[in-house]
């Protein structure tokens, strides 16, 4: 693991690291915010999963999460969204598939299955790396994300009951088996058998969830262009969660779009949401 950068921030440090990933078989970067509290004691960890086209830089430079994370003593880890530079034919041809668009699944189809294993990277390899190198409490972690990363956060929490203390999302892709983005990605990564797609669909997973209480916070911009384009489909997830009595706070925010201006406006609420459960 190599430190790429380190900047004093909010009384702590915003750092970026690079390492060789065994799951993804390439070099990966991830950002880590260490609050002042991490200098003297172990801290809980919030994992942030970014959306389509993003790297580890988008969240740490645009979301403004560091002050709230410092206040609540949270380590925040923000990995890249997919493998990069794997020399896979076609990996850079589309903005919504391939590089920058890993969709947090473990691919089963050629030529993607050897590298595009973001689900295992996020849920297994990265936490082991973080817990082995930073002052974390492995029993206290939560997950959040935006858009494709909101989809990733929801499936990580729903597929691993009890692993995450809480989950939140900004404008998540809630029902990818039913939307163009998801159908394109899942066909490429998982093949044509739609039943295999359901293992990475938050709405389907919520319908069969039987784990411990999982508190969910979702913010959605009312003027989000992808909401009107039927890419996000939050109503499908909310309906299932209501039926299954999974506690969800869903907030439709008037005037807000899909951008990081939206995330910046409400990130403090999400940090507080996770701190409530991580510091309980």
Distance, in Å, from the CA atom of 70 to the CA atom of 143, rounded to the nearest integer, reads: 17
Strand order in the sheet with 216-221: 2-9, 12-21, 26-34, 75-79, 43-49, 136-146, 167-170, 216-221, 248-253
Q: Say how far apart CA 69 and CA 144 lie, in whole Å.
A: 13
CA dist., res. 34 & res. 70, Å (int)? 8
Torsion angle in degrees (nearest 10) through CA of 13, 18, 22, 26:
150
C-alpha span between 96 and 181 (Å, rounded): 7
Residue 6 is a catalytic residue: no
Distance CA 174, CA 229 (A): 13
Q: Is 121 helix (H, G, I), strand (E, B) or coil?
A: helix
User: Is 147 part of the annotated catalytic residue set?
Assistant: yes
Residue 179 · residue 150 · CB < 8 Å: no
Of 137, 148, 210, the residue nearest 180 (C-alpha): 148
| Cβ(72)–Cβ(46) below 8 Å | no
Q: What does the radius of gyration of the chain's CA atoms come to, in whole angstroms?
A: 17
80, 215, 219, 224: the catalytic one is 224
Q: Does the annotation count 80 as an active-site position?
A: no
From the candidates 72, 146, 151, 258, give the one annotated as an active-site residue: 258
Rounded Cα distance between 19 and 52, Å, is 22
Residue 100 is encoded by which pair of tokens?
A: 């920058």
Among the options 144, 147, 166, 168, which is catalytic?
147
Distance (Å, rounded) from C-alpha 245 to C-alpha 247? 6
- Strands 167-170, 43-49: pairing is unpaired
Report the C-alpha gap between 101 and 210 in whole angstroms: 30
Which residues are tagged catalytic? 147, 224, 258
């Amino acid at each position: 693991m190599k430190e790429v950068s380190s900047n004093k921030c909010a009384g702590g440090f915003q750092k970026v690291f690079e390492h060789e990933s065994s799951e993804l078989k390439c070099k990966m970067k991830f950002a880590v915010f260490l609050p002042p509290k991490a200098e003297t004691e172990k801290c809980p960890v919030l994992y942030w999963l970014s959306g389509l086209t993003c790297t580890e830089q988008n969240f740490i430079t645009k979301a403004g999460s560091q002050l709230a994370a410092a206040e609540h003593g949270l380590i925040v880890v923000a990995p890249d969204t997919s493998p990069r530079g794997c020399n896979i034919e076609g990996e850079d041809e589309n903005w919504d598939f391939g590089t920058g668009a890993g969709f947090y699944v473990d691919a089963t189809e050629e030529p993607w299955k050897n590298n595009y294993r973001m689900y295992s990277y996020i849920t297994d390899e990265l936490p082991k790396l973080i817990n082995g190198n930073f002052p974390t409490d492995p029993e206290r972690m939560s997950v959040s994300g935006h858009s494709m990363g909101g989809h990733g956060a929801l499936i990580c929490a729903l597929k691993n009951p009890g692993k995450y203390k809480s989950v939140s999302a900004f404008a998540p892709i809630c029902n990818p088996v039913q939307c163009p983005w998801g159908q394109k990605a899942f066909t490429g990564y998982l093949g044509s058998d739609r039943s295999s797609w359901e293992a990475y669909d938050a709405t389907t997973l919520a319908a069969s969830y039987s784990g411990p209480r999982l508190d969910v916070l979702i913010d959605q911009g009312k003027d989000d262009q992808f909401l009107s384009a039927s890419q996000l489909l939050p109503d499908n997830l909310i309906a299932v969660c209501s039926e299954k009595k999974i506690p969800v706070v869903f907030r439709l925010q008037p005037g807000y779009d899909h951008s990081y201006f939206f995330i910046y406006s409400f990130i403090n609420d999400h940090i507080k949401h996770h701190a409530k459960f991580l510091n309980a």
